[in-house]
Amino acid sequence: MKKTIQNLLAGSLLVASMSAVQAEEIDIKNEDNLKMCVEYSNVSDDVKSTYYKELDRRGQLSYQDISRLPKSEVGPSSTTCGMYMTKGKPLAEQSRQIRPMTFKVVHVYSDMYYVSQSGMVVEGYERKEGVMPPKLSYEMPDVQAPPVLYGAPKQP
């Protein structure tokens, strides 16, 4: 009888410690949005559902993300968070500021290039051998001055 009680007590302590570890693992109130988006593709299903609910509550997912995430698709109008949740961390990223508070980023994956602007995916390109990724900016050509300068003093 004494041995049975010890086993029950040890089992209940083990279950309590495991549930405490799970509660610690799923406590995400102070987690960073980007960290949850990137880790989403590499965690267990229980943690995935918790991350999904929290990111949706925080307004990090668009309606396109909600419909595309079960199909593992990324396309225009997806957020960068939804792209990270679907595809994981990219192989490389390169960004450039194109206007104040507006950034354009090229995300490189093994099969696709995704271009995002201000946190939304705007284009996706298939990655092919021998084809360069999309440019972040296009250089403007030099423009010649007009042939007539208005308001210039007359020359003698």
Q: What is the pLDDT of residue 51?
A: 92
- pTM (2 decimals)? 0.69
Residue 8, C-beta contacts closer than 8 angstroms, at least 6 positions apart: none
Q: What is the pLDDT of residue 14?
A: 46
**CA angle at 144 for the pair 138 and 148, rounded to the nearest 5°:** 145
Tokens encoding 44: 């267990």
Residue 18, C-beta contacts closer than 8 angstroms, at least 6 positions apart: none
Q: What is the pLDDT of residue 2?
A: 56
The Cα–Cα gap between 96 and 134 comes to 13
The Cα–Cα gap between 89 and 13 comes to 38
Q: What is the pLDDT of residue 22?
A: 47
Q: What is the pLDDT of residue 15?
A: 46
Tokens encoding 120: 């939304």
Mean pLDDT, 10 residues at a time, the chain of 156 residues: 53 46 61 91 90 92 92 92 94 90 92 93 90 76 74 68
Q: What is the pLDDT of residue 143?
A: 79
Coarse DSSP helix, strand, coil percentages of the chain, rounded to the nearest 5 percent: 40, 20, 40
DSSP letter for 111, please.
Answer: S
